[in-house]
Amino acid sequence: MEVNSDAMEELRNEWSLLSESEMLSKAADTIERLENEKSELVKALTATQGFAEKFKEHCKKLVEVAKAAEAREEKALENAKEAERDLSQLLQMVENSDLGEAMRAREAAEQEVQAAEELMDEQNQELSSLRRENDQLRRELARFEGALEAAPAEINEVDITSWDDIFDESSSLEYVVLGRLESGVDKLRGQDQEKTWIRWSWRAIQALDEYARMKKERGADAVPHFDLYLQDPLARRAIPKMRYSGSESQGVMSNPRFRNARVLPVEKSVSRDGWVLMESHIRIGSGKPPAPRMHFYDDTNGSTGKIYIGYLGPHLPNYQTN
């Protein structure tokens, strides 16, 4: 059978055109798919950039508030020192029998210290709120970037309004053990600054708990003691470092009565006889009587890895309170 060469050529051309048509259709589909992917990527990038800008602004605000808080803490310290100078002047006034003027000056000094303490408390509340907002933004940003594991864990805030709330919440603490604090705390109940003292007490307890946790996770070389924790940029529960003192004065320690007042009970797993010296303390209130303090023992390098709070109440005896 003779094949028509013209017919074969026409058929080949038809197949060739059909193949090119299919290729163009596939190319068009591919281009459309790439355009859609590009559009989705642009949307995701825009959203991420928006969160990044928002995160940056909050970080900037957080730094500004932190600097303001530190400045106000320094101002409060200056006020406390000024109050001490005023007390010295009071003694001189009393010696000169100008008792009325001395009493008025003392009242003014106490009011200044109280006002500074209230200002610091408000500033700290604002700073804590900004830290929570900052953590939330970091979690959202990490979620967009697919690195949620790098975001800070969410902190569940508890509304603490009384000493009893603190005692009730103590069971939720992983690394802090509260001792028999009721007798000291009872002396703070009903006073004008009680609410402020309650807030600062809980913040101090949370800071100690986070310090112990960070030390366990990162090692003693990274977080050797509480003072360095307070300066760590990753610390989210830190209190102003000027509120903390790791020791007592030589004068206090050389006085047997003053020293013995700071020997407080602990678990026998910490000390064989169940007692340890607790020099480390946190200033809960101002220097104005009762000037509450929190004394604790740091066993994070010891067998328990915990912190034991042995006293919370009016300033323990020293040469000024005696």
Average pLDDT per consecutive 10 residues, the chain (322 residues; last block may be shorter): 58 57 66 76 73 72 70 70 68 63 60 58 57 60 56 64 96 96 97 93 96 95 95 88 93 95 96 97 90 97 96 93 68
Q: Are strands 307-313 and 176-178 parallel, antiparallel or unpaired?
A: parallel
Per the structure, the complete domain to which residue 63 belongs is given by 1-157
Residues 176 and 263 placed together within one structural domain of the fold: yes
Helix (H) or strand (E) holding 245: strand 244-245
Residues 80 and 170 placed together within one structural domain of the fold: no
Residues 151 and 179 placed together within one structural domain of the fold: no
What is the rounded end-to-end Cα distance, in angstroms, of the chain? 130
Residues 120 and 208 placed together within one structural domain of the fold: no
Residue 148: per-residue pLDDT: 47
Which of 157, 175, 195 is the endpoint of a domain?
157
Residue 103: per-residue pLDDT: 59
Which residue(s) pair with 307 in the sheet?
A: 176, 298
Which of 157, 174, 208 is the endpoint of a domain?
157
Which of 123, 157, 191 is the endpoint of a domain?
157
Looking at the structure of the chain, the number of domains it has is 2
| pTM summary value | 0.62
DSSP conformation letters of 200-214: HHHHHHHHHHHHHHH
E runs forming strands in 42-156: none
Residues 44 and 152 placed together within one structural domain of the fold: yes
Nearest to 186 by CA among 42, 67, 33, 292: 292
